């Protein structure tokens, strides 16, 4: 007599920030997972079918506590240099740039509002939006500056 147990099913805790780039995506089923919020880019999808029941979505009180903004009033010079390098399409994989800047340039974030790049100096806010027909869900916006005024519309 053998006894064995199956591993628990894998549950999603996050979706990729750039899932909204999948403009041909027509169905998204994320029910029965551990999602707390969805990336703001989900709002740009033109979905025929969307399901999201049985997740751990935050409520509006918890969402307000999840907001983040940098305490420094001005972005650090390294952040500004990295943004300028990306904006000007510089060949950044060359030895002429400091290693720390090259490493930073390899993983930029993207602003949910203006789609501009950011690295370490950014803010985030969770706002609620109707996704599909039936779901009022928390969407996490990543902002390239703490001074962007958002209307709750990603």
User: How many CB atoms are located within 10 Å of the residue 43 CB?
Assistant: 18
Residue 148 pLDDT > 80:
no
Confidence at residue 2, expressed as pLDDT on a 0 to 100 scale: 61
Strand pairing class (123-131; 49-51): unpaired
Task: Quickly state the pLDDT bin for 105 (edges 50, 70, 90).
Answer: confident
Confidence at residue 149, expressed as pLDDT on a 0 to 100 scale: 55
- 23-32, 103-112, 142-151: lowest mean pLDDT where? 142-151
H-run or E-run covering 79: helix 77-87
Question: Residues 34, 52: contact at Cβ < 8 Å?
Answer: no
Higher pLDDT, 130 or 147: 130
Segment 136-144 mean pLDDT: 92
Residue 25 pLDDT > 90:
yes
Q: Chain-wide mean pLDDT for the chain?
A: 85
Confidence at residue 92, expressed as pLDDT on a 0 to 100 scale: 66
Residue 5 pLDDT > 70:
no
Please give the distance of CA 86 from its chain centroid, rounded to a whole number. 19
Question: Residues 47, 22: contact at Cβ < 8 Å?
Answer: no
Residue 13 pLDDT > 90:
yes
CA distance 122 to 101: 17
- Residue 24: exposed, middle, or buried by beta-carbon count in 10 A (0-12, 13-18, 19+)? exposed
Higher pLDDT, 63 or 151: 63
User: How many CB atoms are located within 10 Å of the residue 94 CB?
Assistant: 8
pTM: 0.75
Q: What's the pLDDT tens digit per position in 106-117?
A: 889 989 988 889
Q: What's the pLDDT tens digit per position in 41-68?
A: 998 999 898 999 999 999 988 988 888 8
């Amino acid at each position: 007599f053998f006894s064995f147990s199956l591993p628990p099913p894998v549950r999603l805790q996050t979706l990729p920030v750039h899932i909204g780039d999948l403009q041909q995506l027509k169905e998204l089923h994320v029910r029965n997972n551990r999602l707390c919020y969805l990336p703001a880019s989900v709002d740009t999808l033109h979905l025929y079918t969307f399901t999201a029941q049985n997740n751990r979505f935050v409520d509006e009180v918890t969402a307000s506590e999840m907001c983040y903004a940098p305490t420094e009033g001005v972005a650090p010079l390294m952040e500004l240099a990295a943004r300028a390098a990306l904006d000007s399409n510089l060949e950044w994989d060359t030895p002429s740039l400091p290693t720390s800047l090259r490493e930073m340039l390899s993983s930029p974030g993207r602003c949910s509002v203006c789609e501009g790049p950011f690295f370490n100096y950014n803010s985030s806010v969770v706002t609620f939006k109707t996704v599909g027909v039936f779901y009022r869900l928390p969407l996490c916006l990543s902002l390239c500056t703490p001074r962007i005024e958002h209307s709750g519309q990603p």
